Structure 1
Amino acid sequence: MQSPEPFSGSRPTSRDVARAAGVSQATVSLVLGDKWRGRVSERTAGSVREAAASLGYRPNLAARNLRLGSTRTALLVVPALTNEFFARVYTGAATVAARHGFGVVLYPSPDGVGPAKDPFASARAALDGVIASSMATDALNAFRGTDLPLVMLDSDPSDSGATAHVNLDVADGMRQVTGHLLALGHRSFLHLASAVSSWTFDVRAAALAEALSGASVRTVRAPLDVQGAREAAQRALAEPGPRPTAIVCDDDILAAGACKAARRLGLRVPEDLSVTGFDDLALATAVEPELTTVRLPAERIGERGMAALLAVLDGREPERGDLPVTLATRASSGPAPAR
């Protein structure tokens, strides 16, 4: 190997490495791209690596990946960054991605919930695949019908537009909630449902209706914020007629609003009214009393989503089966009050 020669400029190039090692730039590309075996000698490969190390050369991985047709980048589409659940989904996806040399670009819906616009005009050229929440499906119109793999999280498994699905067993979560309340003697319920149209909330509603087919159930929809949930629950609880003894909420945020509504009406939780949530956000243990809720493994669904995308890219079959959820029983639920 020749002695490394000084190079002009602040950053060495592959041409500088080739000159120092006495080889062509194509050979440098083969060696540093780890594609040299069977094409150049081990001695030559060693010379190239030594020259690169001596010069402090670092290959432009982004440019190389683009030439190879891969950027090792996934797009994660979620409804909102402010929602703790999706922040944890991102953490799980990014952890698995990092172990495989991938990066994850996070794109939230501008309005927090519902559809988002096409994130980037040229996004498809800079991505290897997309992972998306069912609550942001309209953001994916730009990617459907392309060759980009699409992994859907917590979404309708019959959707043929997705390459793979990773779901939580939210139906079982709702069955666990209703079974807990029925065992406590509750027979009159208010379902404080999310006003956001989403497959996951539809599944929760269907499971609740089936589990409580012999009980009295009234459904009221509310926006996914504490104030809107409080107002909706307060109106429902103040209406004439028998008051429900339990409020089953689609989300912990809705449950926090329901607890505030109860207090404004002079009702005690859980002595006069039990309240349950869904998700087990940090909010669930920040309120008083602490919420009985369904714990969803948010980081795990992010991990499985990224693993599914990697499997598709490798030509493997993604792992199947819904992720289990568990009931966290706390102080917001108690025996049904005597009439």
Structure 2
Amino acid sequence: MAAVHESRRRSGPTVVRGSTRPTSRDVAQAAGVSQAAVSLVLGDKWRGRVSEPTAERVRQAAHDLGYRPNLAARNLRLGHTRTVLLVVPALTTEFFAGVYTGAARVAAAHGFGVVLYPSPEGIGPARDPFASARAALDGVIASSMAADALTAIRGDQLPLVMLDSDPEGSLGTTTVNLDIADAARQIAEHLLALGHRRFLHLAADVASWTFDVRARELAARLAAVPGTELRTVRAPLSIEGAQAATAGALAAAGPRPTALVCDDDKLAAGAYKALRRLGLRVPDDLSVTGLDDLALATAIDPELTTVRLDAELFGERGMRALLAVLDGRTPEAGDIPVQLVVRGSTAPVR
């Protein structure tokens, strides 16, 4: 005989009415089983202890009643919440929405929920969204662009996966990175092959490892080719800031660059506005590149040559890495590949 009393009666489920929030006792009564059997079935621990027909009867009764287990109470008993915090900069582009989508998809498949926490100021410190993050969360996934927020939420005291972060100096237990160095190399190779030798780098004015890598790899690749010139101007991560920085750089004395390398697509859109107001044409007078491949890249004219970063895969890998850390396993190694997408904003030097 099964260890759990399966049935008080063998008839089909009887739906209990009159309760606005059904309990496990209601499910047990409707299915004709004990509450222990309901707990085993809905906790997916019934095999070998409850028969298949009984398990199906419990599931059907729970469905008919609209019953949902009290996960909060169960998780308090187990000592975890199965909740992960994803810390990102302010959601000013769809990139981090894609990161969330990928992370949430993997989390849901493993019975976890993901709370998205955009830093209120975009980049920098943030208020603690919980009375105690350690009491409310099982782990944290955080972008290096919002790393300062971790101090406020005490996220660095939890299992932590850092995205776009220096593996040698990360706060996290592990890091997950896109191959940003290769992105910069692919852009440089493309422009060099078109004959460009005078470059302007429109760099994001953000203290972040990912932007440091872009600048370093671009400079290293161009320096390996005799006769190249590289100037750098910094701009806030906004269209207006990029427009002003580009206009100022092109007004400076000296030969005009033939290629403008932007740290992301939003900066490139700002550069487009500056070039048009100066009477310069893309790509006839200057070739322009971005990085991210946002929807914006195909909304501007000509469409932008940029590097595609798979945001959803980035989020998936981040969540898988955190699950591995929580399980005591070694996360998957290796950076996520990126892909140059050539469009109308780049052309051979005239």
TM-score (norm 1): 0.89
Report what 1:2 is aligned to: 8
Report what 1:83 is aligned to: 93
Q: In the alignment, is residue 254 of structure 1 matched against residue 267 of structure 2?
A: yes
* 1:36 and 1:45 in contact (8 A); partners too: no
Alignment of 1:189-204 (within 5 A): 189-204=199-214
Instruction: Output the amino acid matched with 1:252.
Output: D
Report what 2:277 is aligned to: 264
- CA gap of 1:327–1:37, structure 2 versus 1, over 3 A, is closer
Identity of aligned residues (%): 70
SS at match of 1:267: coil
Q: Distance in 1 between matches of 2:221 and 2:338?
A: 17
- CA gap of 1:51–1:295, structure 2 versus 1, over 3 A, is closer
* 1:175 and 1:207 in contact (8 A); partners too: yes
Q: Distance in 2 between matches of 1:269 and 1:334?
A: 9
The 10-residue stretch of structure 1 (54-63 or 197-206) with the greater mean CA deviation from structure 2: 54-63
Q: In the alignment, is residue 230 of structure 1 matched against residue 243 of structure 2?
A: yes
Q: Distance in 2 between matches of 1:55 and 1:263?
A: 63
Report what 2:187 is aligned to: 177
* 2:185 and 2:221 in contact (8 A); partners too: yes
Report what 1:130 is aligned to: 140
Q: Distance in 1 between matches of 2:59 and 2:199?
A: 73
- CA gap of 1:41–1:99, structure 2 versus 1, over 3 A, is closer
Instruction: Output the amino acid matched with 1:224.
Output: L
- Of 316, 320, 335, the residue aligned with 2:348 is 335
- Of 323, 339, 347, the residue aligned with 1:310 is 323
- Of 60, 63, 72, the residue aligned with 2:70 is 60
* 2:81 and 2:136 in contact (8 A); partners too: yes
Instruction: Output the amino acid matched with 1:293.
Output: T
Q: In the alignment, is residue 212 of structure 1 matched against residue 233 of structure 2?
A: no
The 10-residue stretch of structure 1 (322-331 or 21-30) with the greater mean CA deviation from structure 2: 21-30
- CA gap of 1:221–1:16, structure 2 versus 1, over 3 A, is same
Q: Name the Cα RMSD after superposition.
A: 2.6
Instruction: Output the amino acid matched with 1:12.
Output: P
- CA gap of 1:54–1:320, structure 2 versus 1, over 3 A, is closer
* 1:131 and 1:309 in contact (8 A); partners too: yes
CA deviation after TM superposition for structure 1 residue 118, in Å: 2.4
- Of 169, 175, 188, the residue aligned with 1:165 is 175
- CA gap of 1:268–1:129, structure 2 versus 1, over 3 A, is same
CA deviation after TM superposition for structure 1 residue 114, in Å: 3.1
CA deviation after TM superposition for structure 1 residue 123, in Å: 2.9
Alignment of 1:285-300 (within 5 A): 285-300=298-313
* 1:28 and 1:48 in contact (8 A); partners too: no
Q: Distance in 1 between matches of 2:96 and 2:43?
A: 36
- CA gap of 1:128–1:45, structure 2 versus 1, over 3 A, is farther
Q: Distance in 2 between matches of 1:34 and 1:220?
A: 58
Q: Distance in 2 between matches of 1:47 and 1:325?
A: 47
* 2:262 and 2:290 in contact (8 A); partners too: yes
Report what 1:33 is aligned to: 43
* 1:133 and 1:154 in contact (8 A); partners too: yes
- Which ranges of structure 1 fall in alignment gaps of 5 or more residues? none
Instruction: Output the amino acid matched with 1:140.
Output: L
Q: Distance in 1 between matches of 2:261 and 2:15?
A: 73
Q: Distance in 2 between matches of 1:145 and 1:87?
A: 23
The 10-residue stretch of structure 1 (221-230 or 116-125) with the greater mean CA deviation from structure 2: 116-125
The 10-residue stretch of structure 1 (111-120 or 216-225) with the greater mean CA deviation from structure 2: 111-120
- CA gap of 1:325–1:14, structure 2 versus 1, over 3 A, is same
- CA offsets, 1:80-123, max 9 Å, x none? 22311111111111121222222111110112233323232233
SS at match of 1:224: coil
Instruction: Output the amino acid matched with 1:143.
Output: R
Q: Distance in 1 between matches of 2:15 and 2:337?
A: 61
Report what 1:49 is aligned to: 58
- CA offsets, 1:139-180, max 9 Å, x none? 11233552x211111111113531221100111110110111
Aligned residue pairs: how many?
335
- CA offsets, 1:225-252, max 9 Å, x none? 1111011100110112211111111011
Report what 1:281 is aligned to: 294
* 2:27 and 2:62 in contact (8 A); partners too: no
TM-score (norm 2): 0.86
